[in-house]
């Protein structure tokens, strides 16, 4: 990984400033960033959303997204100044000498064309290869990236291929013209941990084998630690710190960088089930469920959630976590089995539940953006459930809303009359929490509540949830695929795979071997800060036994 500094400079960015167009004026979003990348080197760009990582990544290709413009500075790629180059000159670089791998391969492959046709587009366009030759090369790359049936997979349409495979196919596509530089823009953020590994391994293979330089953009420190030779930390369009990976991990200098590292240290003590014979606040018993006309999504699922405890439900996408939540809330009546609340069966359909029963199961959603009505005032969003469940009116209702805003640490005077779009992501999520609290529930389902948030903001939400739990004695069902979050806040863990519960128990037991093989796979797939983690893991598992291949 440590490459000599003598290699020639490939990309040199000096004093880069980029403006974004908002509210009818141009506002600076990148405020003077320098960057030097040598041939074969990998630079990690990290920062929160809005830090300008992707904007810099696009600028390295001389590309300004719609609504942005490069206002100052120079971008020199292999001796060519991109800020003054004509659009035809810049276009000639893209795809051939600089390639791009996007965050969501599912959205970035054109749904109307076969993978291999999209792969061969650039080499054919640049007349680097003939069609047959280019296809042959694509298949070779697919094989090298360990895609299943590499000779056929290219002839499928994007929707016929899984997310992790698409992301690898996109990496292969970026390689189609053997570029000097690849921009990886959060290539694994949308993937499950087990899938993430195979993409990480593929990216590293490619970079090593072809000595390609890369800019690796991510908000996940542990991921960038595996990939990059050097790391640059960005905050609000400005560089905070730049250092070689190992130095950055061992001895970060800036306060902000240290705070990023510290997020992973939040942990609260584990609680155990109450000693007395109190009944679980929610008990799911032998539930089977399916969506209309579909196959079974839940298969004999049972778990208990005791008062005041946090039960984390973990598993990959499609494992049935959210479906279990829908069964508990009565949105999806089960085919078999039942849901008990303090020992009494809840009617399967929410329409049949009493107000008192409905009050017991409140939800907080992943996307606060879409879960809050943008046209409702905060006071109405929180006030409606308070009115519905507690019958409060007039000054009493206002007082209750103020109380709730205080609880979620937002100043009532400041937020009472505002609308969701005026709020930041973290604030919106807090409003979502207040809405759930307005019903005065004993039990709240948190569906991936932190996964759309930046790490620092997410930590704030976790701390808030923890405080509320202590003060109000709430029980949480915490749906997540992020095992770091589980480590910090869960008391008990339920591991789900393909609609079944494969293992459950107290957190300490779950994180101590021996594990169920699937739990083991999930746990060992979570990237760690150690820069050698991926290498070690690949050696342990063997290269052909990662990701989907390792499924039990």
Partner 1 sequence: MRDILGLVAKRLGLGLVTLLVVSVLIFFAVELLPGDIAQAVLGQMATEETLARLREELGLGRPAIVRYFDWLAGAVTGDFGTSLIDGEPVTAKITDRFVSTLFLAAYAAVIAVPFAITLGIIVALLRNSIFDRVANVVTLTSISSPEFFLGYILILYLAVKWSMFPAIASISSGMTLLELLERTFLPALTLVLVVTAHMMRMTRAAIINLLASPYIEMARLKGAPPWKVIVKHALPNAWAPIINVVALNLAYLVTGVVLVEVVFVYPGIGQLLVDAVAKRDFPIVQACCLIFAATFILLNLAADVGAILTNPRLRHPK
Q: Where does this chain bind partner 1 (CB under 8 A)?
A: 58, 61, 63, 65-66, 91-96, 99-100, 102-104, 107-113, 121-122, 125-126, 156-157, 159-160, 173
Torsion angle of the four alpha carbons 288, 291, 293, 297, in this order, in degrees rounded to the nearest 10: -50
Looking up tokens 């830090």 gives 51
Nearer to partner 1, 115 or 433 (CB): 115
Min CB(89)–partner 1 separation in Å: 11
Nearer to partner 1, 103 or 218 (CB): 103
Nearer to partner 1, 112 or 413 (CB): 112
Structure tokens of 403? Answer: 């109380």
Min CB(427)–partner 1 separation in Å: 26
Nearest to 388, CA basis, from 378, 377, 400, 376: 400
Nearer to partner 1, 96 or 429 (CB): 96
Helices (H), 211-244: 221-227
Dihedrals φ, ψ of 334, to 5°?
-70, 155
Min CB(487)–partner 1 separation in Å: 33
Structure tokens of 448? Answer: 């991936």
Min CB(474)–partner 1 separation in Å: 39
Min CB(125)–partner 1 separation in Å: 7
Q: Which residues contact 184 (CB under 8 A, 6 or more apart)?
A: 101, 203, 214, 215, 216, 217, 227
H/E stretch holding 116: helix 115-125
Burial of 196 (0-12, 13-18, 19+ CB in 10 A): buried
Nearest to 42, CA basis, from 218, 239, 178: 218
Nearer to partner 1, 95 or 383 (CB): 95
Min CB(473)–partner 1 separation in Å: 45
Min CB(110)–partner 1 separation in Å: 4
Min CB(170)–partner 1 separation in Å: 8
Min CB(160)–partner 1 separation in Å: 6
Helices (H), 408-544: 412-415, 425-438, 455-472, 483-489, 507-510, 517-525, 533-541
Min CB(105)–partner 1 separation in Å: 9
Nearer to partner 1, 98 or 483 (CB): 98
CA distances (Å), origin 126, targets 89, 100, 115, 130, 158: 13, 16, 18, 10, 24
Nearer to partner 1, 113 or 267 (CB): 113
Residue 360 DSSP SS3: helix
Min CB(226)–partner 1 separation in Å: 25
Min CB(112)–partner 1 separation in Å: 4
CA distances (Å), origin 360, targets 161, 366, 393, 441: 40, 20, 22, 5
Min CB(73)–partner 1 separation in Å: 20
Residue 435 DSSP SS3: helix
Instruction: Assign residue 189 a region (left: φ > 0; alpha: ψ between -120 and 50; beta: otherwise).
Output: alpha
Nearer to partner 1, 179 or 334 (CB): 179
Q: Are 304 and 283 in contact, with CB atoms under 8 Å apart?
A: yes
DSSP string over 281-320: SEEEEEEEEE-TTS-EEEEEEEEEE-TT-EEEEE--TTSS
Nearer to partner 1, 167 or 485 (CB): 167
Q: Which residues contact 498 (CB under 8 A, 6 or more apart)?
A: 299, 318, 319, 320
Q: Are 432 and 404 in contact, with CB atoms under 8 Å apart?
A: no
Nearer to partner 1, 109 or 306 (CB): 109
H/E stretch holding 169: helix 163-174
Nearer to partner 1, 159 or 375 (CB): 159
Residue 16 DSSP SS3: strand
Query: ω before 514 within 30° of 0 (cis)?
Result: yes
Nearer to partner 1, 183 or 489 (CB): 183
Nearer to partner 1, 113 or 470 (CB): 113
What is the spatial distance between Cα 164 and Cα 199, in angstroms, rounded to a whole number?
7
First to last CA, the chain: 32
Q: Are 353 and 333 in contact, with CB atoms under 8 Å apart?
A: no
């Amino acid at each position: 990984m440590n490459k000599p500094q003598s290699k020639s400079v490939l990309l040199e960015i000096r004093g880069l400033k980029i403006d974004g167009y908002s509210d009818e004026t141009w506002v600076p979003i990148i405020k003077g960033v320098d960057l030097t990348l040598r041939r074969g080197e990998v630079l990690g760009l990290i920062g929160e959303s809005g830090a300008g990582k992707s904007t810099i990544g696009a600028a390295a290709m001389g590309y300004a997204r719609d609504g942005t413009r490069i206002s100052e500075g120079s971008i020199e790629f292999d001796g060519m100044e991109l800020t003054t180059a004509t659009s035809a000159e810049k276009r000639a670089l893209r795809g051939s000498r600089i390639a791009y791998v996007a965050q969501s391969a599912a959205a970035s492959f054109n749904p109307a064309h076969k993978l291999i046709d999209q792969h061969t587009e650039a080499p054919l366009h640049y007349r680097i290869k003939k069609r047959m030759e280019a296809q042959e090369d694509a298949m070779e790359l697919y094989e090298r990236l360990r895609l299943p049936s590499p000779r056929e997979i290219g002839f499928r349409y994007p929707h016929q291929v899984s997310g992790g495979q698409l992301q690898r196919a996109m990496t292969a596509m970026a390689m189609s013209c053997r570029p000097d530089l690849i921009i990886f823009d959060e290539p694994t953020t949308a993937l499950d941990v087990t899938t993430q590994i195979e993409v990480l391994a593929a990216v590293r293979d490619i970079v090593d084998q072809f000595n390609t330089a890369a800019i690796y953009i991510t908000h996940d420190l542990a991921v960038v630690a595996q990939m990059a030779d050097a790391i640059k930390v960005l905050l609000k369009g400005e560089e905070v710190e730049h250092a070689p990976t190992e130095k950055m991990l061992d001895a970060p200098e800036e306060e902000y960088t240290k705070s990023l590292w510290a997020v992973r240290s939040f942990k609260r003590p584990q609680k155990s089930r109450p000693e007395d014979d109190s009944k679980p606040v929610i008990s799911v018993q032998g539930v089977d469920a399916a969506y209309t006309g579909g196959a079974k999504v839940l298969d004999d699922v049972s778990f208990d959630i005791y008062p005041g405890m946090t039960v984390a439900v973990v598993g990959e996408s499609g494992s049935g976590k959210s479906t279990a939540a829908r069964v508990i809330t009565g949105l999806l009546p089960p085919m078999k089995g039942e849901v008990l609340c303090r020992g009494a069966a809840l009617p399967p359909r929410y329409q049949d539940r009493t107000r008192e029963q409905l009050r017991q199961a409140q939800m907080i959603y992943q996307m606060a953006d879409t879960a809050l009505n943008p046209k409702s005032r905060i006071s109405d969003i929180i006030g409606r459930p308070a009115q519905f469940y507690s019958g409060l009116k007039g000054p009493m209702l206002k007082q209750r809303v103020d109380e709730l805003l205080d609880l979620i640490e937002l100043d009532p005077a400041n937020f009472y009359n505002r609308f969701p779009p005026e709020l930041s992501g973290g604030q919106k999520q807090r409003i979502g929490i207040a809405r759930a609290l307005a019903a005065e529930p004993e039990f709240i389902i948190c569906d991936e509540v932190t996964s759309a948030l930046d790490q620092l903001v997410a930590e704030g939400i976790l701390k808030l949830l923890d405080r509320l739990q202590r003060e109000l004695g709430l029980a949480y069902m915490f749906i997540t695929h992020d095992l770091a979050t589980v480590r910090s806040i869960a008391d008990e863990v339920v591991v789900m795979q393909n609609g079944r519960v494969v293992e459950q128990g107290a957190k300490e037991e779950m994180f101590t071997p021996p594990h169920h093989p699937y739990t083991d796979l999930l746990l060992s797939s979570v990237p760690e800060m150690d820069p050698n983690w991926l290498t070690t893991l690949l050696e342990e598992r063997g290269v052909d036994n990662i990701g989907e291949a390792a499924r039990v």
